[in-house]
Amino acid sequence: IDLSVDLGFGKVLPNPLMTASGCAANGAELHRFFDVSELGAFVTKSVMADPRSGRGTPRMAETPSGMLNSIGLQGPGIAAFVDTDLPWLASVGARVLPSIAGSSSTEFAHVAATLRASRAFEAVVGVEVNISCPNVANRGLVFACDPGASAKVIALVREQLPRDVPIFAKLSPDVTDITSIAAACVKAGADGLTMINTLLGMVIDTDLMRPHLGGITGGLSGPAIRPVAVRAIWQVRQAMAEGRIPVVPIIGVGGVRTGRDALELVAAGASAVQVGTATFNDPTAPVRVLHELTDLLVEKGYRRFSDVVGAAHGSP
Ligand code: DOR
């Protein structure tokens, strides 16, 4: 079976499985469990201009259907990232999709320009532009909820990077009409879309009678949000089929634990799939899902992965 995925501009990945941003910082943690170069691409934790410690603790809460986090974009800052993390990923042969974030469009541009200047930039197969973090005093969601603000960030980032490096706008599910944000991003120069970031949620500690998370609200991930991801991917793919959004690849993310879960996002329209929260129970989840998905496609008689992308929409 041919599992290859064309991200555009000649960036062809050997398979469609990726890590989801934030669930493994720079890859070294997961590399203890499997070879991260086996994945189609490795997506890093969103990196901003300066080092950040993030929000106060506790920053994680488990619920029966998923996990909430209010990390608040903790990270080393772009200088340390290009100095240490990116060269390490390059040294183990990973194809890297760095995730970048900013609290203003100029910060996004600065992070993208610094990345571009990195000596390990040849390992970068694309850049994910995180305009949808729910945990930075609402700044992140301000971008992803506003087509104009999203478009401005995307256009500025696009200018900083070479034309053959595709950029993916990561969208929030917390919007009334995700297709209008998707359209604004693609028209501003996004070469693809990643759907979805976490869903804004909250947990209350009923012993303390207080919000559990230090950040009060947090982002919900895991099985609970898979149907939300499927819906968002389906709607955007449909809008592309109807000519309301130029056709670009979609990277699906949200509650994937098995090969069959991955296939659901692919059938809705995703050309690649990220695995995040599932790695907390099983650090090998991204490669396990790759093998399960491969077996499932072979069993169903597919010869090429690309034939199943969007298959649930029926023939045009
Ligand atoms: O749920 C999330 N948490 N999404 C993001 O985009 C960032 C992350 C964080 O650091 O808070």
pLDDT confidence band for 134 (50 / 70 / 90): confident
Element containing residue 218 per DSSP (H, E): strand 217-221
pLDDT at 316 exceeding the cut of 70: no
Looking at the DSSP bridge assignments, the partners of residue 170 are 130, 194
- Whether 71 lines ligand 1, by a CB cut-off of 6 Å, is yes
Q: Identify the structural domains of the chain with CATH numbers, from first to last.
A: 5-313 (3.20.20.70)
pLDDT confidence band for 10 (50 / 70 / 90): confident
**Among protein residues, the one whose CA lies closest to atom 10 of ligand 1:** 73
How far, in Å, from the CA of 277 to the mean position of ligand 1?
A: 12
Q: What is the ipTM of this complex?
A: 0.99
From the CA of 101, give the closest atom in ligand 1.
Answer: 6
Beta strands, E only, 32-140? 42-43, 60-63, 66-69, 96-97, 99-100, 127-130
pLDDT at 141 exceeding the cut of 90: no
- Whether 72 lines ligand 1, by a CB cut-off of 6 Å, is yes
Q: What would the pLDDT profile of 45-75 be if each residue is shown by its tens digit?
A: 999 999 999 999 999 999 998 999 999 999 9
How far, in Å, from the CA of 135 to the mean position of ligand 1?
A: 6
Mean pLDDT of the chain: 96
Mean pLDDT along residues 87-108: 97
How far, in Å, from the CA of 22 to the mean position of ligand 1?
A: 7
Hey, which of 43, 59, 73, 203 would you mutate to test ligand 1's pocket, going by the most ligand atoms within 8 Å of its Cβ?
73
Determine the pLDDT at residue 135: 86
